[in-house]
Amino acid sequence: MALRSRRRERAGRVYEVCSLLLRYPDAELGAATPALRAATAELPRGAARAGLERFFAWWGATAAPARAAHYVEAIDLNRRSGLYLTFYSDGDKRERGSVLVRLKQLYRAAGLPLEGTELPDYLPVMLEFAASAPGGRGEIVLRENRAALELVRAALRDLGSPYADLLDAVCAALGEPSAAERALAGRLAAGGPPQELVGLEPFAPPEVMPGAGSRR
């Protein structure tokens, strides 16, 4: 029991750090980086810590404007590596709406209701929940969306993006995927998401969609 509790605590710290680093790299995140580096240094050596350290090496060697430009290109405007995970299984079908409602209910039931305007399947939101929910319940949302997580991880790796290192850290903390999860990821990669548009929010925030104003 104590061993399981320690594993959850270590995994929670990885999720917390990655939840922040996977967000748009603005000045506020830049100011928080020393604290995130310190939290990473306290993790035990292993694949999760190694992934975070690789990411920080890129971060430290890259100017802030270049970091922001890479994020927009690799994540915000790339349909294969966006961070809204249910998009990969449900696309913009009507069913996705019920999945998003269920996620909100899950967060609320754990005493951690979703605040703000972000969708509940946004990976940084899921990671924040996974880090904070009691009794390991937060990992439920990550495990249920493991195939999509692996799909985004592979897409970022194909792009040569350092953000793949953050997904490596998350997956290392979560544990090895099952054979069924690997198979589902393969099917999602081969078939792509369904495309029945029903007026849901796009896979990226409106401010970074083509034709919209840039981030500030």
Q: How does pLDDT run across 50-61, given as a tens digit for each residue? A: 999 999 999 999
Q: What is the mean pLDDT of residues 113-122?
A: 88
Q: Nearest CA to 154 among 203, 192, 189, 190? A: 189
Higher-confidence residue of 181 and 45: namely 45
Higher-confidence residue of 193 and 77: namely 77
- Which residues contact residue 26 at a Cβ distance below 8 angstroms, ignoring those fewer than 6 apart? 68, 215
- Could you read off the pLDDT of 155-206 as tens digits, one per residue? 999 999 999 999 999 999 998 877 777 777 777 777 665 554 444 444 444 3
Does pLDDT of 86 surpass 50? Answer: yes
Residue 96, pLDDT score: 82
Domains along the chain with CATH numbers: 2-206 (1.10.3480)
* CA contacts within 13 A on the Cβ side of 66: 8
Give dist(CA 40, CA 147) in Å, integer.
26
Q: Nearest CA to 128 among 151, 87, 86, 139? A: 139
Torsion of CA 190, 126, 133, 145, to 10 degrees: -10
Residue 54, pLDDT score: 98
Q: What is the mean pLDDT of residues 92-104?
A: 82
What number of other Cβ atoms are within 10 A of residue 1's Cβ? 5
Give dist(CA 7, CA 12) in Å, integer.
8
